[in-house]
Structure 1
């Protein structure tokens, strides 16, 4: 399978679609009785209210989630190929993205984090363009606005503001205007939101938005480790990819090295931002899939021994299915 997706062949669009539905057989086989989907954060209901909880049945919810993931995989695949982060253009980023979004049942249901992955892929593209832009103030301002929109949908997405400064440190020489532009873009979204709340004479609700920022970091976690055994093959592939990346690191283009550094920090920030949400949900970690999928794709793009990487991916896909059914 890996060898097939190493080729940028249009027939892989069909194979990728089939693979997307195949990886979701478990949830289609045993549909949940009820699926809740909050399209936007509760503080934003006054501005946008879409009652999708009652509009979509569980089967419709999961079907549309599958279509959303497939579309995201294609967009993500194009972004990674356009920036030459892998050895050569392929469908591997899309394949790894779909596999990553199939790790857990909650990943397969429509959620705000899933919708925000569209925005995350968009800002990855814009971040990787920073080094190629003579004047990046407009780009950084746009990124700030995108993060602001994402925060309206899913509050922990606000943590991506930190990525603006990390990206500027990686790709640009210091320019205070660029550092301020991202914040202004973010604030612009919430300025108009505040005006709307003031217009509705409900400004007190606007202040409630920022309450999660004073949450204490959780000191106790209730974890069923059996639920996360599926991450063992992921960890193995990431270790192999890291070793391979280290071996080729200084032989890669500077932009490629910086791109992987950016994605590493994005993976950490996306994972750590879960504490901004009072109710922990595993679907939050969908935000870790795009940066993580690039590293997985990097290994399979550069691996030499076909019998080994094909077997490794087969075991990976089968383990995902096994733990989904079990």
Structure 2
């Protein structure tokens, strides 16, 4: 019953979404903490810390607004490209739950900003399929990934996802690849020029190497958390299988869009394997594609009883983890 209600389109969602997000972020406002130290961050995130004076409360308010922007953008993207055949607000609700139950949801983390840029790049990747402005769209994708990496460096691995997406779309040509590469290099080039002008280029390069090779301490997880993440892993595998080989979706275009979304999720998981210190942060980024993958499964699955049970467990698990945090 809960899933049946939530997957419908309703104007009331625009009121409920901020309320739900606020309830899940109450702990962040009541006990604000600074998740990322200034000295160990990428330059664009450092600029935000400077603007907000490293105030944890201001940063949490900014993070809360980012959660809302991403949530509404998830709905808009499906409205524009309709890769989930039934129009639904479910991706928004799922993203809020997944992102808010993440360990790092006690405040603003640079990975959350990068998640917004990756969602915007997903929009531009889909536009490549239309072919009218494929080079410009490729440049935009590379530019957005480059900007995202200047907030959270491991996001730079998303460029591999861009190349993968070109192959999936059948648009892997030299001009699209070079357009994306040029876009990716552009913000990095300007930031390097800035540091060179300041005489700190070598320090910036060493700092970037340190972020990639860092081994942050990973907190120990409780039995409840382990069980929930195990359930989430199982549900992800089921949903991915259903999304790729689901019998409901017949249109080639929509199928390619869904495979690209799955590819983005796989890329975020691969980033966790390559850089274990980024596991917790990557959950925020993975929540973007996972929201669509789960939504497709819950909306298109004909076995409503199983979907209702799995969705109820997912919601209960997210709420319990949020309360325990």
Deviates more, 1:144-153 or 1:31-40: 31-40
Match of 1:7 in 2: 8
TM normalised by structure 1 equals 0.85
| Contact 1:93–1:297 (Cα < 8 Å) also in 2 | yes
Match of 1:290 among 284, 288, 291: 288
Match of 1:99 in 2: 97
Question: For the structure 1 residues 222 and 111, does the alpha-carbon distance in structure 2 shift closer, same or farther, using more than 3 Å as the test?
Answer: closer
- Give the deviation of 1:165 after TM superposition: 0.9
Unaligned runs of 5+ in 2: none
- After TM superposition, the structure 1 = structure 2 runs for residues 268-283 of structure 1, keeping only pairs within 5 Å, are 268-274=266-272, 279-280=277-278, 282-283=280-281
Match of 1:85 in 2: 83
Give the length in aligned residue pairs. 321
Q: Structure 2: how far apart are the matches of 1:315 and 1:123?
A: 31
- Give the deviation of 1:83 after TM superposition: 1.3
SS at match of 2:164: helix
Question: For the structure 1 residues 241 and 45, does the alpha-carbon distance in structure 2 shift closer, same or farther, using more than 3 Å as the test?
Answer: closer
Question: For the structure 1 residues 277 and 236, does the alpha-carbon distance in structure 2 shift closer, same or farther, using more than 3 Å as the test?
Answer: closer
RMSD between aligned residues: 3.2
| Contact 2:153–2:212 (Cα < 8 Å) also in 1 | no
| Contact 1:119–1:150 (Cα < 8 Å) also in 2 | yes
Unaligned runs of 5+ in 1: none
| Contact 1:39–1:112 (Cα < 8 Å) also in 2 | no
- Give the deviation of 1:15 after TM superposition: 2.0
SS at match of 2:22: helix
| Contact 1:149–1:189 (Cα < 8 Å) also in 2 | yes
Question: For the structure 1 residues 260 and 246, does the alpha-carbon distance in structure 2 shift closer, same or farther, using more than 3 Å as the test?
Answer: closer
- After TM superposition, the structure 1 = structure 2 runs for residues 54-65 of structure 1, keeping only pairs within 5 Å, are 55-58=54-57, 60-65=58-63
| Contact 2:9–2:88 (Cα < 8 Å) also in 1 | yes
| Contact 1:40–1:112 (Cα < 8 Å) also in 2 | no
Question: For the structure 1 residues 41 and 145, does the alpha-carbon distance in structure 2 shift closer, same or farther, using more than 3 Å as the test?
Answer: farther
TM normalised by structure 2 equals 0.85
Q: Structure 1: how far apart are the matches of 2:3 and 2:206?
A: 48
Q: Structure 2: how far apart are the matches of 1:91 and 1:75?
A: 11
SS at match of 1:153: coil
- Give the deviation of 1:126 after TM superposition: 0.9
Question: For the structure 1 residues 310 and 62, does the alpha-carbon distance in structure 2 shift closer, same or farther, using more than 3 Å as the test?
Answer: farther
Q: Structure 2: how far apart are the matches of 1:325 and 1:235?
A: 21
| Contact 1:41–1:153 (Cα < 8 Å) also in 2 | no
Q: Structure 2: how far apart are the matches of 1:278 and 1:247?
A: 30
Match of 1:315 in 2: 313
| Contact 1:40–1:48 (Cα < 8 Å) also in 2 | no
